[in-house]
Amino acid sequence: MTDDPRFGPPSWHPESMPHRHPEGVPHPHQEGGPPRHPEGDPPGAMPPVPGGPGRPAAEEAAPVDIETARHLWIAVIGLGVASMLVGLWSLWSDRAAFLDALMTDLTAQDPSLALPPETADTVLTVAMGFALLFAAAITALVWLTVRKMRAGKLWARAVLTGIGVVVVVTTLPSLFGLGGVSGTVAVVTTILGILQAVAAAGAVYLMHRRESTEFFVRRRG
């Protein structure tokens, strides 16, 4: 044995042995990290909860029918926007003839309603702008409802079912009268409307299948 400070105490020396608790359990402070109770977590400690801070809860996967219905509703929205834009473009490109016909009808009903051409054109432009804003708001609301439906909200399914029924019912006359439609714009808008009705009907059907209904019931509970 040597007292040279460059060498530590011999292995049998008490200072060279790690400080241990009774029964050979190492002291918790020597393990690193925050101090812990000798027997584990403190009695009042709660186990980690899934979905707590830093632990996002796992979202239930929707059935295939719900995902397909969501895509069909996206198609319904897109076809509706396309049909509206085609109609507005047709009206804007031929607004002079439209204004002449409109002013002729108004003057025939009441001469005091006659407007200068410049004023009538301004009124039409403002009306088309409001129509675009209204359509954008409706589109945003429908898209939000589709997202809620995908999340399993029963009220969203009910709202979309009503929208689908309205779309299908209002398109039936166009479906049976397609042969009598004339004009490129009228034919295009009619075809877009029929495709929109087919997509809406398919989406409503898929939302009400057995697996879809079970998904909504689970999400409600």
Q: What is the pLDDT of residue 56?
A: 39
Helices (H), the chain: 64-93, 95-109, 117-150, 154-176, 184-207, 210-220
- Number of structural domains in the chain: 1
Is the residue at 78 inside a domain?
yes
DSSP 37: B
Mind listing the pLDDT tens digit for each residue in 169-193?
A: 999 887 776 655 667 888 888 899 9
DSSP 24: G
Residue 178's domain spans which residues?
64-220
Mean pLDDT of 89-117: 76
Q: What is the pLDDT of residue 17?
A: 52
Mind listing the pLDDT tens digit for each residue in 46-68?
A: 444 444 444 433 467 889 999 99
Name the residue among 79, 93, 76 with its Cα closest to residue 188: 79
Is the residue at 104 inside a domain?
yes
Is the residue at 169 inside a domain?
yes
Residues in Cβ contact with 160 at an 8 Å cutoff, skipping those fewer than 6 apart? 73, 142, 145, 146, 149, 203, 204, 207
Is the residue at 114 inside a domain?
yes
Is the residue at 24 inside a domain?
no
Is the residue at 54 inside a domain?
no
Contact 198, 175 (CB under 8 A): no
Is the residue at 109 inside a domain?
yes
Q: What is the pLDDT of residue 15?
A: 52
Q: pTM of the entire structure?
A: 0.67
Show the CA angle centred on residue 136, arms to residues 135 and 141, nearest 5°.
95
Q: What is the pLDDT of residue 117?
A: 72
CB burial of residue 94 (10 Å; 0-12, 13-18, 19+): exposed
Mind listing the pLDDT tens digit for each residue in 5-16?
A: 555 555 555 555
Mind listing the pLDDT tens digit for each residue in 122-165?
A: 888 888 899 999 999 999 999 999 999 999 999 999 999 999 99
Q: What is the pLDDT of residue 156?
A: 96
CB burial of residue 149 (10 Å; 0-12, 13-18, 19+): buried
Q: What is the pLDDT of residue 55?
A: 40
Mind listing the pLDDT tens digit for each residue in 64-100?
A: 999 999 999 999 999 999 999 998 888 888 877 777 7
pLDDT reading at 205 higher than 60: yes
Is the residue at 28 inside a domain?
no
